[in-house]
Structure 1
Amino acid sequence: MPEHDPVRDAARYRVQRDSAGEQGEQEPAAPRGRMENRHQWVDVVIDQAIARGEFDDLPLAGKPIPGITRHDPDWWLKALIEREQISGVLPEAIQLRKDDAVLAERLDALRTEDDVRSAVEEFNARIVSARRQLLGGPPVVTPLRDVDREVREWHARRRVPEPAPAEEPVRPRRVGRRHWRRSTS
């Protein structure tokens, strides 16, 4: 049997501590500056700040922190992604949904019909590739896009009717005022 068994040592310590508490003996105070006393220093600093009023009128005083839900352990990660506008790290199914929502805007930025066709074909290829992968995660529910229909819609958005030129309003004639030219002689 080992001479120093940590479990037995801990049990002996607890028994000695409990018996000392029952007899009214005080434990010696820990030396200052050790980690055990840091919490007291923090409490004092916070109390002083409260006394100075540094915590008065905070914008979210008494309200829950926005964006934090109780049952979401990844709230901080989602907040970071949104705040820093990080893209490309989402699961492919969710990234495809986001790209699907802004596809028309992306296509409107293109100049030629061939560019539109290749962009829609590339988007469809990403959907097919994501459906073939068995990596788990959310299912791919983004529908394939019809290339010809997207090209027709792209043309229709480009042919927005131009507003008719505004006619200049007719100015009424001034009646009753005459401008006399001064003759210089």
Structure 2
Amino acid sequence: MQPYESHIERLIREATERGEFDNLRGAGKPLDLGSPDDPDWWIKQKLRAEGLDGAGAVPAVLSLRKEAAGFPESLREIRTEAGVRTVLEDYNDRCRRDRLMPRDPKTPPLVAPILDVDAMVARWRQL
């Protein structure tokens, strides 16, 4: 009596017989399972392997909050007050648009801060 072989098992066996699994990259080497303390090791490894930036993988509100945390230091290279105001007003506009987006009721209600442009310009001047 033949043992039961599922469709998938049959496909794998046939591919093995054809040699499709021979000479695979990393064959015979242990798997790199990343850090055991980082539950997202696999996605970080995949992003690196694909040469992708993970910034687009986080919610917009978190990116905005990170951007706000970098002010006014990130404005240091801007030479004119008008340029600084343009950057800050663009940031505030993106925050307002983000607040209008529908939210998943299962996630915590995060908002990015609207910045006081005049106060931030004063801090920029001190730099």
TM over 0.5: yes
- TM-score, normalising length from structure 1? 0.44
Q: Would you say 1:77 and 2:46 are equivalent positions? A: no
Assess if the C-alpha contact under 8 Å between 1:107 and 1:154 holds in 2.
yes
**Aligned alpha-carbon RMSD (Å):** 3.6
Q: 1:108 corresponds to which letter in structure 2?
A: R
DSSP 3-state at the match of 1:103:
coil
Tell me what 1:7 maps to. Answer: none
Unaligned runs of 5+ in 1: 1-15, 19-32, 47-54, 56-60, 158-185
Could you tell me whether the CA contact under 8 Å between 2:34 and 2:42 is conserved in 1? no
C-alpha distance in 2 between matches for 1:100 and 1:67: 32
CA deviations on 1:104-148 (whole Å, 9 max, x unpaired) are 232111111111112111111111110111153664332111111
Structure 2 equivalent of residue 175 of structure 1:
none
Distance apart, 1:66 and its partner CA = 2.3
What is the CA deviation profile of residues 18-73 of structure 1, one whole-angstrom value per residue up to 9, with x for unaligned ones?
A: 7xxxxxxxxxxxxxx954556xx89xx84xxxxxxxx7xxxxx9x96227745x5x
Residue identity over aligned pairs, in percent, reads 28
Count of residue pairs brought into register by the alignment:
107
Would you say the 8 A contact 1:108–1:154 is kept in 2?
A: yes
1:120 to 2:92 alignment? no
Change (3 A) 1:17 1:92: same
TM-score (norm 2): 0.60
Are the equivalent residues in 2 in contact too, given 1:130–1:140 (CA < 8 A)?
no
